[in-house]
Every structure is written in structure tokens, then in C-alpha cells.
Amino acid sequence: MKEQIEEANGKLGILIPGLGAVATTMIAGVEAVKKGLAQPVGSLTQTGNIRLGKRTENRYPKIKDFVPLASLNDIVFGGWDVYSDNVYEAAVNAKVLELGLLQPIQSELEKIKPMKAVFDKDYVRNLDGKHVKEAATKYDLALAVMEDIENFKKENDCSRLVMVWCGSTEKYIEEADVHQNIYSFEDGLRNNDPLISPSMIYAYAAIKKGVPFANGAPNLSCDITALVDLAKELGVPIGGKDFKTGQTLMKTILAPGLHARSLGIRGWFSTNILGNRDGLVLDDPDNFKTKEVSKLGVLEDILQPELSPELYGDLYHKIRINYYPPHGDNKESWDNIDIFGWLGYPMQIKINFLCRDSILAAPIVLDLALFFDLAKRANMSGIQEWLSFYFKSPQTAPGLRPEHDIFKQLIKLQNTLRHIMGEDLITHLGLDYYQDLVESL
Amino acid sequence: MKEQIEEANGKLGILIPGLGAVATTMIAGVEAVKKGLAQPVGSLTQTGNIRLGKRTENRYPKIKDFVPLASLNDIVFGGWDVYSDNVYEAAVNAKVLELGLLQPIQSELEKIKPMKAVFDKDYVRNLDGKHVKEAATKYDLALAVMEDIENFKKENDCSRLVMVWCGSTEKYIEEADVHQNIYSFEDGLRNNDPLISPSMIYAYAAIKKGVPFANGAPNLSCDITALVDLAKELGVPIGGKDFKTGQTLMKTILAPGLHARSLGIRGWFSTNILGNRDGLVLDDPDNFKTKEVSKLGVLEDILQPELSPELYGDLYHKIRINYYPPHGDNKESWDNIDIFGWLGYPMQIKINFLCRDSILAAPIVLDLALFFDLAKRANMSGIQEWLSFYFKSPQTAPGLRPEHDIFKQLIKLQNTLRHIMGEDLITHLGLDYYQDLVESL
Amino acid sequence: MKEQIEEANGKLGILIPGLGAVATTMIAGVEAVKKGLAQPVGSLTQTGNIRLGKRTENRYPKIKDFVPLASLNDIVFGGWDVYSDNVYEAAVNAKVLELGLLQPIQSELEKIKPMKAVFDKDYVRNLDGKHVKEAATKYDLALAVMEDIENFKKENDCSRLVMVWCGSTEKYIEEADVHQNIYSFEDGLRNNDPLISPSMIYAYAAIKKGVPFANGAPNLSCDITALVDLAKELGVPIGGKDFKTGQTLMKTILAPGLHARSLGIRGWFSTNILGNRDGLVLDDPDNFKTKEVSKLGVLEDILQPELSPELYGDLYHKIRINYYPPHGDNKESWDNIDIFGWLGYPMQIKINFLCRDSILAAPIVLDLALFFDLAKRANMSGIQEWLSFYFKSPQTAPGLRPEHDIFKQLIKLQNTLRHIMGEDLITHLGLDYYQDLVESL
Amino acid sequence: MKEQIEEANGKLGILIPGLGAVATTMIAGVEAVKKGLAQPVGSLTQTGNIRLGKRTENRYPKIKDFVPLASLNDIVFGGWDVYSDNVYEAAVNAKVLELGLLQPIQSELEKIKPMKAVFDKDYVRNLDGKHVKEAATKYDLALAVMEDIENFKKENDCSRLVMVWCGSTEKYIEEADVHQNIYSFEDGLRNNDPLISPSMIYAYAAIKKGVPFANGAPNLSCDITALVDLAKELGVPIGGKDFKTGQTLMKTILAPGLHARSLGIRGWFSTNILGNRDGLVLDDPDNFKTKEVSKLGVLEDILQPELSPELYGDLYHKIRINYYPPHGDNKESWDNIDIFGWLGYPMQIKINFLCRDSILAAPIVLDLALFFDLAKRANMSGIQEWLSFYFKSPQTAPGLRPEHDIFKQLIKLQNTLRHIMGEDLITHLGLDYYQDLVESL
Ligand SMILES: NC(=O)c1ccc[n+]([C@@H]2O[C@H](COP(=O)([O-])OP(=O)(O)OC[C@H]3O[C@@H](n4cnc5c(N)ncnc54)[C@H](O)[C@@H]3O)[C@@H](O)[C@H]2O)c1
Ligand SMILES: NC(=O)c1ccc[n+]([C@@H]2O[C@H](COP(=O)([O-])OP(=O)(O)OC[C@H]3O[C@@H](n4cnc5c(N)ncnc54)[C@H](O)[C@@H]3O)[C@@H](O)[C@H]2O)c1
Ligand SMILES: NC(=O)c1ccc[n+]([C@@H]2O[C@H](COP(=O)([O-])OP(=O)(O)OC[C@H]3O[C@@H](n4cnc5c(N)ncnc54)[C@H](O)[C@@H]3O)[C@@H](O)[C@H]2O)c1
Ligand SMILES: NC(=O)c1ccc[n+]([C@@H]2O[C@H](COP(=O)([O-])OP(=O)(O)OC[C@H]3O[C@@H](n4cnc5c(N)ncnc54)[C@H](O)[C@@H]3O)[C@@H](O)[C@H]2O)c1
Ligand code: NA
Ligand code: NA
């Protein structure tokens, strides 16, 4: 297996629809890291270690020294946006990073100019950009994106590409007939079916060009049967949905812990305040719905109320997102969790997370780009469930329940890496450290 | 293996030095559960499920239906305390459970009267009980405890016994020469060596009588070479230290989550306010030291700063415990955690846990008793590292780093159960659900 | 003046439209206090002191010993509700007070049975009671209430009455033509004008019968020109709106403090979670609007942004109320306040108030009843602005800005009491304690 | 009176023992404000308004336009410190203000160089500066300070001076014989009495030179009979102790609010985490004691438990200060307040104040300097109780209870200003707005 992984030679192009707060924070960060100005904290591929073999072997290499990933120095960036600001301007507007950090990399960032976007105001009512493609049909738009992809690859002399959707959250829709197979989908493209959203068009174009596609927003995008099948058929890795950051990250850390201890949960109230453009888009109820659905599923999967109705059967789960301009990108969440323990006695947990949304999301974009590129080179196609670790609402094989427990997700990710590199999987059994015991077993 | 586990026939006696808040809450709870008055929430042995086989097999039996544990109906309780209150009186004084819950089981609880304690005021300055054994030497005290054990077993017609230390936290001491081997230790007993604490005397007596011993407090007790060796030699399961509840429970849930995402941590400030007798004992700096040492180690093991000095090398960790009578047993913790992400940008997490100390600890006592009894029947002797899940400061084989990550602890516990019952271990790899992928590997 | 106050002889009847959580908690409390079972904490009239004269005189009588208030022993209760539960049943349903407290006063509470309500589902969509009056016109309904009042007075042998609205919050409407004067209003009553709400009908009936009327909900009720004029004309004290409890109480404590120190405020985000019937009613957007308007005005008045635009000109104020059943009447609020200080440097305050809504409101009902009765006996008619202390959204003389600063409200209340009793007003100047200084002035 | 106030002509020198975080933040701020680079937020003298006359007159001038205060342009700064860093260096080290703000005023700040300090390591064990005066006796040190004062006045061409102690908190001592009168005190100076601390020497020197003296730290300094008497005799305004910021500020805002509503308080737990030099000094138990005593008195005065033992008689008040380097000057406090209401039902308030210590303190230093200068020109001598508003532990006339309620303090301050300017005092009675009512009284 290990021998079959293609090496990471040549340049890797990371293509991003949506050069907003998250994308520009990621790009600026990579440039700053390359210049030694800052550390890629929060990125597993850059700073994480992986244990190999037995505890006593003491083997903990960096992940990037263990699996063959693209080097930061081989990365080039491109993207699309409905506003024509270059990445420097967009980063300044996003107000995530300080000017002192952006200035030394200004020239690198200014060079990255968005291509014209595939956009449909009906999917994002609170935005109003003019830097958009015009064409008679959605199919023509898809062709235009494919052309962009090809041009970018040539102009930047890339050996490989990967695409990560960082565009705004689109309004809520559910999978429908048009999404059922590639024929109905391509018909829909040609007929301008209103149920085909811009993010689906990018995903279709990427898959058709053999470019791995990851979806950082909660809208469907590549999570429809037509595109899942197409990806498998063409051998392209895909995955989504919705970067796991902030409150949901915390929830998928904490809920497994409470569940581990068989503590009951009566209610979980989650509120968020944020003031960036993402918050503005989510202020529209249709777009909020997409996010809400993505965030709500988490607890049910982790707690499995059907197995323990006495602990989780009556759980009342409520999520609120509030647009609050004074906080800008500094999203803040407050959770009130009503738990109960021995004999039903109630207790409470309150969590106030003063986070920075894009700071948490940026390293995820980088990791996904690098791991999806690895997956491609390792001939792994279709949905990459082993990368669930990064998503609020992971895509899975049809019929499989998504795994939300971040610790199981991490083990899955690490054991997948061990597996493809021919190392033993880790079970944490460890009875062998207790020799007498083992003999007695 | 499975076949070699002795069945759980006959009565199991649970013997407890320290019939205070935790112990009486556990005992009252078991009686209430037996009468159908309440649920044993928080107890893995009573309410937890375990996944067996592949995800798609959908096998999630209750743990108590999977492994042969003693039934609650076969349990009898006994114990020692420096106060002569029976368990009903002690439970009323502890103010943990409501009178409405205690009254229907009053007669069962009143029957349980503490035996006279082995006590040494030098180890617990803030207590002043009179219900204590008198003898010329510590060795004689140990013999008296062994006699108590035998009498209890006979009088209650028990087939098996197990002992769980729920006594007050003893003052801080470190392992010394007298603790190095069983000869020096028994000499020390005979010479009234001041470095032999009461909890060591109980542990010694239990092990000598073949009774499994678990230590719920942070003091050394059975965590000295002399007793570890003796336990192995006599085939007795032992383990400790310090029930993992409240703030530390939360810490070993959260820290693995932050570490999973490679988020840096600059500072972690933890404060506690509690007003029960445990809080009063810990108000003495010598006793607090024992608890502090137990609580401080947690982060270092989970974060492994030597592997990621740029993320965890400068972590400032501070813990405070404040005696605050208005809260009684409703211990409350507040944590401020200073983390940093992408490019070093700072973020903060605040956690306010309004918990009930004894409510969290009681099911741990029960689980430990049942699992230690299982271990004995399965011929597992010496330190039971697979039960680290329940301890703030788990005992390990010499030279092994303790594992504090609660999720790794849980996998270890579950895989141990799977292992002794002859089921496949679980690795969460799950690539087989993605057939095409597996074939390509 | 003091001599002109009529004595509090005979029985005082407290009549309450809306025998829900707040009203029953108040009534049960008064009965429990009368039996010596509990303390009337939170009631200024029962437990508050008032300073008289100079600091050095050390005169701090209880308010109830200073001004001639009705004694608790002289109070009788009556009321209306759309459900026919007696006060004991309603108190049990409200789940505010423990059964242990309610049982000793069960017989007193069962005797209090609601009269049939004036109700209009259009004003409170989420309720569905059947215990309502039927009549051809709103005018007839008003007459029926007047008859209820008279009957109650006779049957209970009362010398005086007072009415406090504790009914559900009605949907949002604004003052319109029909409310402009008593002629248009009485026409409206006769024509079933939809802009006349049930609470206005009770208010009208009370004023016509000379009964002081206080409004504990945020809906208009007596806050319309027609009724204000009528009250003045007939010499009846009136006032409202909306009991000041919970988050708003906290806000009118904290905001004056920040303002006192000239600290700037950029944003104030307030969220509430509550699960009682009040929360259910407010889950309807029309009814929430009434509450929101009542809560939003508070900051503007206290901070006076027009005087300090650089400190308060850009303040973003947002309020959320979330129906969250797990908490029942235990309303909980969380506030995030973004302030700034010297040179514009930002700081944050987070307040988590775990309150009990009805526990905070009940003593307000009692105090208002007793003070409105006092006002009547002191010949004070029309709006009682000196009782703003108790209201989220105080009624004032037309053209006057309401005062929300709770400390100014308290001084106003206390100086009013001093004034009517002929004592010196207090200015906190106190220069006379510094003799040399005074001489030099 | 108004006519007798001397005008604020010429330059005002502000002399500061202790050019640390607070002092340099204040000085840098004044320079930045003078250049229009920032706003003096938090300063009552610079941004506060005062209401004059009746509400309907709508007269709310800025305080600085109402009373004759020194203009910022007329201020010059000087000071002493045990380190020789100039104010620019000290401000950079303090890490309170950003470099971007300090750089434009670098040259102004560099010019201000500390004079050698009167220092005694026995009073501040955790500091170790070398920039200190040497002399045979404390009396000689006092003379040296007087000489410094005179030189400064001459060299800077000042018409008036004022001194504000911003030095480190000295260790706890109580008033003793040597402090009883000016003879024993001056004897003590000559005999190097160990109970005379450096801050007393500065205070003595200032008073002798007729320079008003304010004490921003909790140590005694001018709060001893000898110096109080001397100040009166020489006609010099003095005052202290301990700038009221952060948690105590919040406490004196919140406690009056709870007291206003007659809510009971069972416990108040306050913890602080801070990492600046002040925190380091307070890490020594002797110095912490001084601060603790200053902080503890607050609640007792406001709540007057002797008047309401049922509400405040059992209040358990605990304060912790924790040195926590990760937070630097960003002091953070967390308060848990256990209150109870109607019938004794318990509720909780949690306050997390993410403040910046020096940002809150700096405008206080400025206001005190300007008001003490005003007091001098208005012939007000001795303790200035009307400035209690600024102090955690206000000095008062012997036998008078200090007033801690910040709202009463504010009224006192404002009414004092009104009084000296010949305006009506404000009582908030306001009955005259309700004409009919007034006539009826
Ligand atoms: N922590 C996080 O920040 C986080 C976490 C999870 C998911 N997300 C999702 O990531 C996405 C990006 O977040 P952000 O904070 O950067 O938002 P943003 O608003 O700053 O950036 C989104 C950008 O996408 C552009 N855009 C919108 N529609 C487009 C289209 N059809 N084609 C090309 N560009 C388009 C917008 O103009 C904007 O510049 C959002 O969907 C958000 O919900 C973010
Ligand atoms: N969440 C928790 O409650 C928790 C968590 C971890 C550890 N612990 C530890 O569990 C222990 C029990 O906690 P608790 O809350 O029940 O305390 P507690 O004070 O209510 O009970 C301890 C009892 O032990 C008795 N005791 C003391 N020394 C003894 C001796 N030598 N022999 C016999 N009895 C003795 C005391 O009299 C007391 O009744 C403490 O050591 C505590 O630190 C508790
Ligand atoms: N802290 C507080 O509890 C608080 C604070 C401020 C204001 N309020 C207001 O006080 C009122 C009462 O609050 P609650 O918690 O007791 O609510 P609740 O829902 O428990 O009680 C309201 C009662 O009014 C009855 N009602 C509704 N319309 C009526 C009508 N037209 N005539 C007679 N009865 C009628 C309902 O049936 C119900 O029993 C609400 O308007 C609430 O907004 C409460
Ligand atoms: N919010 C606040 O910052 C606040 C609030 C209340 C009181 N205070 C008090 O104000 C004082 C200053 O606080 P800070 O944060 O600036 O502390 P800091 O440690 O930054 O500054 C104190 C300075 O005083 C100097 N010093 C010590 N002893 C001296 C002496 N005898 N003569 C001259 N200089 C001396 C030190 O060298 C240091 O530079 C402290 O006493 C503090 O407790 C501060
Ligand atoms: Na603390
Ligand atoms: Na909310």
C-alpha cells in the first residue's frame, strides 16, 4: 500500500471558491509561516505528532514526516469571489489578522486576484457582489469554471490541484430528484434548475476535472447522490460538510466525555454572537436553517438516545446564532448544559468560548487540502469519511450514521494514516505492559 | 479466557473505610435503585452500553449484560469511620441527598454501623473523631482490621469481598525507604513508623486477606512498592488514586480535545469552591498538597509538551481549592483557559461547572467495586491500569507514564472487556465500509 | 401632610387579574409569612430600612414602622384567571414553590378561586383557557368586572381595594385614536374596538370604582391617555409597566455604575432562557415584541447617548428570550457587555444570573399593593412615578423621560416617603461632618 | 463660596511616587489626548456631565465646563521610582498600551525621568530596585523629598502641585503609637522607627510643603492621626485609600443594587487572576493582607447586616488574588454570589470581568489630581470624603463609617460640586412634575 502512494512532486494548487475571512486567513498564514513570521498552530499536518508502535517504543513522529504530504513551499493559491478585492484587500477588510502581520506579505497576497464567481443571489440574499460570471445556462457556468481550472493549472505550472469551498453558506434546500443521478443533474444544469446551487456547480466542475473537492460550508454542494457517484466513478476524493470550529467543536469534545461517564443530559442551550460577514449572511433565516441543521445533528449521534432513553431521551437541544457587529470575527459562544447524575440529581455546566472563528477554521482548510491531495495520490476515491474529524456534519457512505465524537474521529484519522503507511493500528489495550496479567489471560 | 472467569455467585461484600459523603451517597443510592426509587445514573456498569463487532452489526449490549458482574441484589455493605454515626445519620449530615429520598430506605441504612477506625490525627488534622481502634503498634491495628474483615464475611455470609477507600485525604508524604519492600514495611508496622498512614494499614490488611483494594483518595495508600509487590504475589487486584470527578474530569475531557486539534495552551487557571467536610480537610495546606499533586499531573501527560514545545512548553497551570461553606457539597469550579491558534492568535475558554461532588463520585465507587471483583474472578492481579478511567492520578506499572486522556482510558477499559470476553478489539478504522477504497488499498 | 394620611384601618383586598406563577407565589408567600413559616425577603415594605436625619443620628427604622402601611394580617386576596384552578392548584402547577412549603397553607390557598376572566385569544395566542366571561360588548365586560369588584368587597368585608395586573403579556399594540380620551375609549368599549385589550378593561373598571391599579406586564393597559386622565379626575393612583426583575434589574443596576465612571459601552448582548408559561406566551413574536420594547428602552435613558456620543453613541443593544423547558421558572440570563475605558481600550463583562423569575417578582406585587394603597390614603392621584423603582418601563407624566437608574429610583421612593412623613430629604452632601471645611465654605 | 475659589492659572505639577503601570498609562494617556490621538474615557473630569436644576431645565454641562479645573495643557508630570527607567521605557515594560500608541509620544515620555525613591525592601519584599535615596534617618529622607518637590516646582515653573501615590502596595501594618501625633511621628522619623513606611514619608513631605496628597494604594500612608491632623492644621487636602477598580468597583455597584431590593446574600466568593508587577508584589502574603483588608470592608458597610441580620447576618465573604503571568495587566475577576429572595429561595449570580487594571486606574489618578487641586483652591482642607467615589477604602473623619455605595458616593461628589458652585442640591424627589399631586400634599 505504502509503495503505491504517488510522491508529492511538483506544485500543488489550492483553489478556493470564496476568498473571504477564512480563506484569506489561511492563505496569509501559509505565506507568513513560509517566511518564518508565525507558527501554523492548529494544523495537524504541520504541528501534530502520531504515536507508532507500543507506548514503550516512544515513537511519535510529526505527521508531516510520517506521510508524504505536499510541502508548504510547493503550494500556490487561486480562487473565485463575488467581490474583486485581491487577497490582501480582502484580508484587511476581514479584520481577522493585524496589519503588522499582513504588511510583510502584502506583495504575495496582492498577486492573488479572485476569478469571477458563479453566483446566485437567490442562495445568498444578504450579499451583493458584482464580480460574477454571466452565461445562458448553469451548464455553461460549469464549463467556465473548468476552463478557469485548466488555465490556473497551466499558468501556475501545477502538477496537482485540490478545491476547498470557503464561500458563504447557501440557503437551505434538501436533496431532490434533480440531484439523484448524473443524468438528471446535467439536465438540470442545462435547464437552469433552481435547485442547483453555485456550490454544486463548482463541485461538479472540480470532480469532472479530477480535482478533489472539500466543502467547508453546511450547504449540500457535493453531498448529493449525483456527485457522490460521479466522484467514485472518476476516482476523485470528496468530502464535507461545514468546518468544525467553535461551539460545535466544543460540543463534540464535551458530549463524548459526558456520555463516557453515563451522565444524563436534560437540556443543551447554545447561543452564539458574531459580527463578521458570515454572521450577516446567517442573519437571513433561510441561510441560518442550513447552519442550524448542520449543528443540531451532533448530539444525537454521540449520545445515541435510543440505547439510553433514560439518560438522553428527553434532551432539549436549542441553538441560536445572533448577528452582533461589536464582536466582528471574534465569535463568542455561551452554552448552558443541564446534566444529571446519580439518582437523577441535576448539575449544570456553562461554557463561554471567546474564540476567533477564522483562526480556528484556517488550519482546517490547509489540512483538508493536504489530506485530500494525499488521498488522491493514494488512490482513495469518493467520500473520505476518515476526515470527518474536520467537519460539523460529515458525509458518510449511504446508510452509515456519521460519527461526530471527535476522539473516535481522530483515532479513525490516525489509524487510517497508520494503515496506509503499513503501521500497526492502535487499540489502547496495553495489557502486555502487565506481563503477569497477560500470562494469566 | 472467557471460560476461565469465575461466576459471580453468592454475596459480594463492599467494605469501605470512610463512611462520609461519597460512601453514604453510594450506599443509599444502591438501596434506592434496588427499590426502584431512582436510577443509577453515572454508573457505567449499570447503564453503559458497549459496541461489539462492526458498526453495521448494530450490537450495543449493556455492559452488565455482557460481562459477568455481581448483581446489586447480591451486595452487602460494611465500613469503618472515626465517627460512630450509622449510614443513615451520616447521610443526613452529609446533606447530599434529600430527606425525601433517604426516608424510604432509612431502616436499611441504619443497619450499617461503622466499625472502629484505624486513625492518626497527624494525617488529618481537621478531624477529631473518637470512634477509633487502640493498639500498641500499627501491626496490631492491621491485625484488627483483618479480624474485622473475617468477621464481616462470616456474619454476612459473603462469598467475595472488595474494599474501596473513601476516607479523608491524608497529608502529603512521598514514598520512602519504609515503603520499598514488604520486609521494611512490616518492620515499620511493628515500629510504628510515622510514614505509615492509616490508609496503608487498611490496604495491607485487605491484600493479605486476598481482598481487592481500590483507593479513592489522592494519598499513597496502596501506591507503594511494598504493597504493589505483595498484591502481585498474592494475586490480588489493586488500584488508585483519587476518584476522577468535577474539574479534573472536565480537564481530561477538554484537554484531549484541544490537543487533538493542535491548539496551543498558554495558561490554565482552575479554582474550586466547596463547603463540605472534604473541603474542610483540604483547607489544611498539608492535605491540600496531596490533592494538588494529584490534580496537577493531568495536563502534562495529555499534552506531552516535550513533543510540542511550541504549543505546550510555556503552559502555566494553577489550581486553587477554596473552602466556602455556603455551597456545601455543591462543589463549583471555574476554569479560565488561555489557548492560541493559527499564527499564535489568543482565544479564551471559561468553564463554570456547578457540580455535586458526591453525586459524581458515588457511581465510581460502585463501578470500581464491581470491576475489581470481576478482575479477581478473572485472575487479573496487581495494578489494574485498565480502570484508569476512574482515577485522577492512575497507578501504573513502574516506568509507564499514566494515561489521563479519558477517551483513551475508555477505549482501554472497553477493549479490555472485549478482550476478556473474546470479542474483537475496536480500532475505528472502518475502511471496510468504503468497499472501493478498501480494494484499492 | 403626615396628618392628612388616612389610617390603614380595616381589611385591604388585593385583586389580581392573572393568578399564575407570580401571583400564586406572592399569595402563598404572604400566607406562609403570616404563619411564621418563611421570611418576606425581597420586599422593601416588609424588610427594608430607611435612614432618617443625619448619618450620626443613627436612625434607620423599618419602612413598615415609619409609614402607615396595611398589615399582612389585614390582607385578603381575590382574582381572575382564564383557568379555573384554585390558587393551591395553580401554585402546584407553576412549580415555583416546593410542596413542603405549600402543604401547610393548602386550605388557605384552596379557598381562593378565580373569577371568570375577561379574555381575548387574539391578544394571547398561546393560551387556551375556558374560564372566561361572555358578553355582547367590551363595555358589558367592564361592567361585569365592576360587579365582581363590588361583590368581592362586600363578601370580604374590605375597607379598601387595590388591583395589580399579573396576567400574561398581551400582544404588541401602540396607543391609537381610541385611547386618546375617555369618550373615544368608552365608545370603543361599546363598539368592541379590537384595539382595546382585556388588561385595559380591568384597568378601566378599577379606576371607575376608585381602586388603585398597577400593571405588572409590559402591555399598555392603564398607560393610555384616556385612563391616565380618568385616574387623575377620579383621584385614583395608577402605574406600570412590567415588574423589574432578572436581567433588566441587573441592567439598571450595572449601567448606572458604568455610566458613573464614564466608561464607554460598545455593545450589550442579553439572552434569556426560561421554560414557564410566561416563556411559552413570549414564544409568540407578537407578545415578545411587547416585552422587547419594554426591555430595550432601559439603557438609552440611563446612558443619555446624546450627552456623551463618544461613549454611548454606537452602542449595539440586543435582547433575546428563548423558551427552554428544562429550566421551568428558573429563568437564567447571560449578558455580554463590551465596554471600553481610558484611550478606548476594550474590556468585557459577562453576567450569568441564575434567577427564579417569580421569586423576584412576588415581593414586588406585595410592595406595589401596599404602596398604592398608601398613595390612595395620602390623596396622591394619577401616575405614581415615585414607584418607578418596581417597573421595567415606568409610566411618567407626558413629556417626562422615564428614570431607569435604580438608585435614582430608590432615592426618589425614599425621599417621597420622607417627604410625606415630614422628614428632611437626604442629599448625601455631608459636608457638615467636616467642620473646618464647612466653616471655610 | 463660588467667588472664593482661586482660579486655575499657571501650571499644575502632578508628582507621582511609583512610575509603574498605572502612572505611566495615565501620563501617556494625557499626552495622547493632548495630541488628539485618543479619548480620556473613564475620566469624570474630562468626559462626565452633571445635571443642574430641574429635569425639565435640561442643563447637563460637562463637569470641566462647570467647575474651574486645571486644563490638560497646563499639566506637567514628575515622579519617583526605585527603577531608573524613564516613563517611555516603563510604559513599554508595563505592556499596557500598544507600541503604536506610545511611539507618537515617545519624546514627551522619555523626558520624564524618575527621581530617586525613598524605599524600604522590608515593605515590598518582591521588588529589588537600586534607584533609591540613601540617608542616615527617615527624617533626612523626608527632607530630601521636600527638596525634590521644591526643585521640581521651580524647574517646571509650576504655580501649584499635587501628589498621588502610585507606588507598590506596602506590607500590612496597623496604626500604632508612633502614628498618633505629629511629635511621636517626627521622633519616629528621626529614630528610623520601623513602623514608618516610605509612603508615609512622601505623604509627610507633601503635606509639609502644602501639596495635596492622595493615596492610590491600600497601605496606610496619610491615613494616620499624625498626618490627618497635620493636614488640617496646614490646610492641605488629603485622601485615600486604594483606587477603586475592577472587582471592587463591580462589587460597590452590584451590592447596593441587591440591597436596594432587600435581596439576601449568603456568600460572595471573589477570585482574581493577574500577571503584572502589582500581582507579583501581592503574591507576598504580607502585602496581600493589606489589599485584602482594603477589599473586605466594602460589603459590610453597604449591606449593614446589623440592621438586617436575616438578610446579611450570615454572609460569607472570601477574596482571592492569584498571580497568573499569562494575563499580564489584563486582570480578570470571577465572582460567585449566592443570594436568596422571597421565602428564602436561593439564586446565583456569576460575574466574569475581563478588565484591564491600569486602564481602569489611570483616569482615576487624573481625576484625583484635578479634584485635589480644586479642593486646595477652594480652601477645603483635611480628608476629602466627597472623593470616596474613587477609593476602595475611603478615609473618613474619625468615628464616621465610610460610604462604599458608589451611587451615594457619586451623589456626594456631584452635590459637593453643586454646593461649591452655588447650585441647588438634587434630591430626585421630583413631585413638582406631578402638579395635582403636589397641590394635594
Ligand atoms: N469558523 C469558521 O469561520 C467557519 C466554520 C464553519 C464553516 N464556515 C463556513 O465557511 C464559509 C466561509 O466563512 P467566512 O467566515 O470566510 O465567510 P466570509 O463571508 O468572510 O467569506 C465568504 C466569501 O465567499 C464569497 N462568496 C459567496 N458566494 C460565493 C460564490 N458563489 N462564489 C464565490 N465566492 C462566493 C463571499 O463574497 C465572501 O467573500 C462560510 O460558509 C461559513 O459558514 C466557517
Ligand atoms: N467527588 C468527590 O467527592 C471526590 C473525588 C475524588 C476524591 N474524593 C475523595 O474521597 C474521599 C471521601 O470524600 P467525602 O466527600 O466522602 O469526604 P467526607 O469527609 O464526607 O468523608 C470521609 C470520611 O472518612 C472518615 N475518615 C477519615 N479518616 C478515616 C480513617 N482513617 N478511617 C476511617 N474513616 C476515616 C471521615 O470521618 C469521614 O466520615 C476524600 O478523600 C476525597 O478527597 C472525593
Ligand atoms: N419575573 C417575572 O416573573 C415577571 C417580571 C416582569 C413581568 N412579568 C409579567 O407578569 C405576568 C405574569 O407572569 P407569570 O410568570 O405569573 O405568568 P403565568 O403565565 O404563570 O401567569 C399569567 C396568568 O395570567 C392568566 N391570564 C392571561 N390572560 C388573562 C386575562 N385576560 N385575565 C385573567 N387572567 C389571565 C393566565 O391564564 C395565567 O394563569 C406576565 O405578563 C409576565 O410577563 C413577570
Ligand atoms: N487597577 C489598578 O491598577 C489598581 C487599583 C487599585 C490600586 N492600585 C495600586 O496602585 C499601585 C500601582 O499599581 P501598578 O499596577 O502601577 O503597579 P506597578 O508595580 O506597575 O507600579 C508600582 C511602581 O511603584 C514603584 N515603587 C515601589 N515602591 C516605591 C517607592 N517606595 N517609591 C517609589 N516608587 C516605588 C515600583 O518600582 C513600580 O514601578 C499599587 O499599589 C496598586 O496596588 C492599582
Ligand atoms: Na481562587
Ligand atoms: Na440567544
Tell me what pLDDT residue A46 has. Answer: 97
* Angle, vertex CA A304, rays to CA A303 and CA A305, nearest 5: 95
Q: Which residue has the higher pLDDT, C275 or D18?
A: D18
Residue D317 cell numbers, joined: 465573604
Rounded average pLDDT over A49-54: 90
What confidence tier does A1 reach under pLDDT thresholds 50, 70, 90?
low
Q: How many Cβ atoms from other residues are within 10 Å of residue A93's Cβ?
A: 14
Residue A433 pLDDT more than 90? no
* Angle, vertex CA A386, rays to CA A383 and CA A389, nearest 5: 110
* Cβ pair B304:A60 closer than 8 A: yes
Nearest beta carbon to residue D263 from set C42, C310, C352: C42
Which residues of D are less than 8 Å from C362 in CB distance?
Answer: 342
- Per DSSP, A115 falls in state E
Q: Which residue of C has its CA nearest to D430?
A: C412
What confidence tier does B439 reach under pLDDT thresholds 50, 70, 90?
very low
Residue A436 pLDDT more than 90? no
Which residue from B207, B175, B172, B170 is spatially nearest to B188, judged by alpha carbons? B175
Residue A437 pLDDT more than 50? no
Q: Which residue has the higher pLDDT, D199 or B436?
A: D199
Residue C236 pLDDT more than 80? yes
Task: Note the pLDDT tens digit of each residue in A356-366.
Answer: 999 999 999 99
Nearest beta carbon to residue C324 from set A316, A326, A354: A316
Q: Which atom of ligand 4 is nearest to the CA of D24?
A: 16
Q: CA A89, A90, A92, A97 torsion: positive or negative?
A: negative
Give the Cα separation of D170 and D118 in Å (integer): 13
Instruction: Choose the mutation target among C324, C352, C354 for the interface with A, i.e. most A CBs under 10 Å.
Output: C324
Task: Note the pLDDT tens digit of each residue in B156-214.
Answer: 999 999 999 999 999 999 999 999 999 999 999 999 999 999 999 999 999 999 999 99
Asked if C355 reaches chain A (Cβ–Cβ under 8 Å), the answer is no
Cis peptide before A138 (omega within 30 of 0): no
What does each C-alpha distance from A114 to A24, A150, C167, D249 come to in angstroms? 11, 15, 59, 51
* Angle, vertex CA D295, rays to CA D294 and CA D297, nearest 5: 80
Contact C366, C45 (CB under 8 A): yes
Residues 34-53 of C with CB under 8 A from D: 38-44, 46-49
Predicted structure pTM score = 0.94
Taking the CA of A272 as reference, the closest ligand is 6
Q: Which amino acid is residue B252, in one-letter code? A: T
Strand D316-323, strand D264-274: pairing: parallel
Neighbours of chain B (3+ CB pairs under 8 A): A, D
Asked if D273 reaches chain B (Cβ–Cβ under 8 Å), the answer is yes
Instruction: Choose the mutation target among A266, A324, A355 for the interface with C, i.e. most C CBs under 10 Å.
Output: A324
Please report the ipTM that was assigned to this predicted complex: 0.94
- Per DSSP, C393 falls in state S
Residue A371 pLDDT more than 50? yes
CA distance A370 to chain B (A): 16
Give the Cα separation of D7 and D418 in Å (integer): 17
* Å from CA of C334 to ligand 6 middle: 9
Residue C333 cell numbers, joined: 440570563
Percent of chain A with pLDDT over 90: 84
Nearest beta carbon to residue B322 from set D318, D324, D327: D318
Tell me what pLDDT residue A428 has. Answer: 65
* Cβ pair C327:A338 closer than 8 A: yes
Residue B441 pLDDT more than 50? no
Contact D328, D275 (CB under 8 A): yes
Q: Which atom of ligand 4 is nearest to the CA of D331?
A: 1
What confidence tier does D292 reach under pLDDT thresholds 50, 70, 90?
confident
Contact A367, A44 (CB under 8 A): yes
Residue D438 pLDDT more than 70? no
CA distance A272 to chain C (A): 10
What confidence tier does C438 reach under pLDDT thresholds 50, 70, 90?
very low
Task: Note the pLDDT tens digit of each residue in B105-143.
Answer: 999 999 999 999 999 999 999 899 999 999 999 999 999
The reply to whether ligand 1 has any atom less than 6 angstroms from the CB of A212 is no
Task: Note the pLDDT tens digit of each residue in C262-309.
Answer: 999 999 999 999 988 888 888 888 888 888 887 888 998 899 999 999
What confidence tier does C440 reach under pLDDT thresholds 50, 70, 90?
very low
Query: Cα torsion for B31, B32, B38, B39, to the nearest 10°?
Result: 0
Q: Which residue of D has its CA nearest to C263?
A: D42
Tell me what pLDDT residue A289 has. Answer: 87
Residue C428 pLDDT more than 80? no
Taking the CA of A245 as reference, the closest ligand is 1
**Least confident residue range of B318-332, C292-306, D409-423:** C292-306
DSSP run (H or E) holding D13: strand D11-17
Give the Cα separation of B269 and B320 in Å (integer): 8
Task: Note the pLDDT tens digit of each residue in B213-222.
Answer: 999 999 999 9
The most confident of B402-416, C224-238, D46-60, by mean pLDDT: C224-238
The residue to mutate among A15, A278, A286, having the most atoms of ligand 1 within 8 angstroms of its beta carbon, is: A278
Task: Note the pLDDT tens digit of each residue in D341-350.
Answer: 999 999 999 9
Query: Cα torsion for A45, A46, A52, A58, to the nearest 10°?
Result: -160
Tell me what pLDDT residue C429 has. Answer: 59
Q: Which residue minimizes the CA distance to atom 25 of ligand 4?
A: D18
Place of cell 498539608: B286
The residue to mutate among D215, D278, D321, D359, having the most atoms of ligand 4 within 8 angstroms of its beta carbon, is: D278
Q: Which atom of ligand 1 is nearest to the CA of A291?
A: 43
Contact B171, B289 (CB under 8 A): yes
